[in-house]
Structure 1
Amino acid sequence: MVPMALYPSSSRPSLRHGVRLMSVLLSVPPLVLSSCDSGSGGGDSDGPGDTGDVASLSAEVVAEYPSDPTSFTQGLEVMPEGDLLVSTGKEGQSRIYRTPRTDASHDAATVSADLDPQYFGEGSTRHGDDIWQLTWKHGVAVKRDAATLDQTDEASYTGEGWGLCSNGERLVMSDGSDKLTFRDPSTFAVTGEVSVALDGDAVGQLNELDCSDGDIWANVWYDDRILRINPATGEVNGVLDTSDLDLPAREKDGADVLNGIAKVPGTTDHFLITGKLWDTVYEVTVK
């Protein structure tokens, strides 16, 4: 995922080829784990079942915007005002900032806040007048004012924090497993959970999330596929394969893994995608 120096020795392993992994995936598919039962409260199903028809989705690049090649991107979201919300990782260097939608570089930030240096920052999301920002292994969610990014509160949780999004009613959180946890947007208390399955097999390594149009979009660590998930059942109803995108050679050969998807408000099929340490955010149409 990133050079080992950025993680403690017990952390996730490193891999810096984010968009050329398909040959590896074909021989050792990381998505397919043993099936498991769903937790309570996610939806109407008792567990992940056969998804039936899973749509094969493709993306076409329609625009490219600058990003920050020093940003270890953990969260990406387009806010209602049109600004981008970006949260980043690395111990002692994690931060969260707002930029214009067409320039995600930190130099273009209109407001920025550093995370306490003891924390490794993870995903973030806007809900109303608040922003929640996760930490990786410290079990702390930081609540911030959406306008100023000043910290207003914090909450604790069990396990790791990876991705986060808001569906307008509840927060949805990933922890690197096949589980999505639903949380109260005011208190961060757990209100339910669901396990994610593709064709009946549990899907692990769920990472950065985007909630849009009643679905959850999830990056999967070490993979160039992005999953579209039914939050009521946990079933994957669409798979977006980004391996055929015409990305520059630097992204293909030297950049870190794909991690970041955000629906562009006011559109039906436009999304922003990026990766860790990428210098570009791509606006794509998904079909």
Structure 2
Amino acid sequence: MRTFKLLTIIFLATFILSCGSSTTQKKNDFTLVTNAKNNALALGEALNLSIKNPKKHTITSVSYTLNGETISEKTTLENTKLGEQTLEATITFDGETQTISQKLTVLNNTPPKVYTYKIINEYPHDITSYTQGLEFHNGDLYESTGQHGESKLRKVNYKTGEVLKNIDLEDAYFGEGLTVLNNKVYQLTWQSGTGFVYNADTFEKTGSFKYNKSKEGWGICNDTKTLYKSDGTEKIWTINPETLSEEGYIQAYHSQGKVVGLNELEWVNGKIYANRYQKNGVAIINPTNGAIEGVIDFSPLKKQVTQHQGLDVLNGIAYNPETKTLFITGKRWDKLFEVEIIKE
């Protein structure tokens, strides 16, 4: 019960039955029937499929797919991405072929683990920075800030707060998340549909890229091979760093439903850490299937910075591989917290 209450505080009611309509789609003569209550099943559960054939056609064959992958009429949901997926049945009968489809929502089979933290150090942070992205590279802290007319890309000495390098974005752009890969900085903008690429040493702009289906830019991180991008929904998109094209996505789900508003992202020991916009918690996400495996409640941190009119929410997660600790800040916070994560 305590775990459920904490999750409610952090993620607000968890979007139970964000699974879509339970109405089965019909096409021509057949209906696809499943054992999924409200069109939702959890990992590890068995999916049973059958065809309703009210006109008594002579069916020659039936084949099933889940997101294009062939499955049998009785399939255990393992190694499956979470979230809303597409079921299809292809029926051959009387010399004809028909395909029918419907949505299936796959939930995680365990609730997230709950973590707290211990503050190790506090460092100065620019109170005017509307922090959007934060990441370590070669011992320095790279930061992207937002707001039209205020957006910047910076390299900072995190111990002193000294700005080592800074460039301002054009007023038309609202800066968002950033990540560094192969000595390139990838910086997102919010609603302009555009991201920028810079040399990590000189901040020379070397390229740009357009979003596709993801529409908006929120947070971004990388696993040394792939870029992961959030867009304010439950989706985290995978981007090829060479072609800068979106190649797919995962959906962030736990055992009760989806979590939207995923914002700043950080890659930490094989997992994606993501804070939810306007909340002071961080979700720990499996990058393979989208399962929210843990949550960290950082809500007390906001009370430990200077309280002022422009103070806003937590929005800055950076993992320092040298110290193996997390660094947390927020929008217009005057402190950067180095923390150790503790499992309750």
Q: What is the SS of the residue equivalent to 1:250? A: coil
Q: Distance in 2 between matches of 1:70 and 1:180?
A: 29
Who is 1:10 aligned against? none
Q: Distance in 2 between matches of 1:164 and 1:125?
A: 6
Among 92, 113, 116, the alignment partner of 1:58 is 116
Who is 1:15 aligned against? none
Deviation (angstroms), 1:54: 2.1
Who is 1:230 aligned against? 286
Structure 2 counterpart of 1:285, one-letter code: E
Who is 2:143 aligned against? 86
Who is 1:47 aligned against? 82
Structure 1 counterpart of 2:19, one-letter code: S
Structure 2 counterpart of 1:117, one-letter code: D
Who is 2:337 aligned against? 282
Who is 1:35 aligned against? 19
Who is 2:180 aligned against? 126
Structure 1 counterpart of 2:185, one-letter code: I
Would the aligned equivalents of 2:238 and 2:249 in 1 still touch at CA under 8 Å?
A: yes
Query: Alpha carbons of 1:171 and 1:39: their partners in 2 closer, same or farther (altered >3 Å)?
Result: farther
> TM-score if structure 1 supplies the norm length?
0.83
Would the aligned equivalents of 2:152 and 2:175 in 1 still touch at CA under 8 Å?
A: yes
Equivalent residue runs for 1:205-216 within 5 Å: 205-216=261-272
CA RMSD of aligned residues (A): 2.7
Runs (4 or more) in structure 1 with deviation over 6 Å come to 36-40
Query: Alpha carbons of 1:233 and 1:63: their partners in 2 closer, same or farther (altered >3 Å)?
Result: same
Would the aligned equivalents of 2:111 and 2:254 in 1 still touch at CA under 8 Å?
A: no
Higher relative contact order (CA 8 A, sep 6+): 1
Among 283, 289, 314, the alignment partner of 1:258 is 314
Who is 2:254 aligned against? 198
Would the aligned equivalents of 2:10 and 2:281 in 1 still touch at CA under 8 Å?
A: no
Q: Distance in 1 between matches of 2:19 and 2:123?
A: 40
Would the aligned equivalents of 1:259 and 1:275 in 2 still touch at CA under 8 Å?
A: yes
Unaligned runs of 5+ in 2: 21-39, 41-65, 69-77, 84-106
How many residues align structurally?
Answer: 259
Q: What is the SS of the residue equivalent to 1:239? A: strand
Would the aligned equivalents of 1:92 and 1:118 in 2 still touch at CA under 8 Å?
A: yes
Query: Alpha carbons of 1:66 and 1:51: their partners in 2 closer, same or farther (altered >3 Å)?
Result: farther
Who is 1:101 aligned against? 158
Unaligned runs of 5+ in 1: 1-21
Who is 1:243 aligned against? 299
Deviation (angstroms), 1:97: 0.6
Q: Distance in 1 between matches of 2:176 and 2:253?
A: 23
Would the aligned equivalents of 1:39 and 1:195 in 2 still touch at CA under 8 Å?
A: no
Would the aligned equivalents of 1:35 and 1:200 in 2 still touch at CA under 8 Å?
A: no
Q: Deviations over 1:236-266 (max 9, x none)?
A: 1111011244842635986200101111113
Q: What is the SS of the residue equivalent to 2:299? A: coil
Bigger fraction of residues in strand: 2
Q: Distance in 2 between matches of 1:174 and 1:257?
A: 18
Q: Which has the larger radius of gyration?
A: 2
Among 125, 129, 132, the alignment partner of 1:74 is 132
Query: Alpha carbons of 1:44 and 1:152: their partners in 2 closer, same or farther (altered >3 Å)?
Result: farther
Deviation (angstroms), 1:132: 0.5
Q: What is the SS of the residue equivalent to 1:201? A: coil
Structure 2 counterpart of 1:70, one-letter code: T
Q: Distance in 1 between matches of 2:171 and 2:277?
A: 24
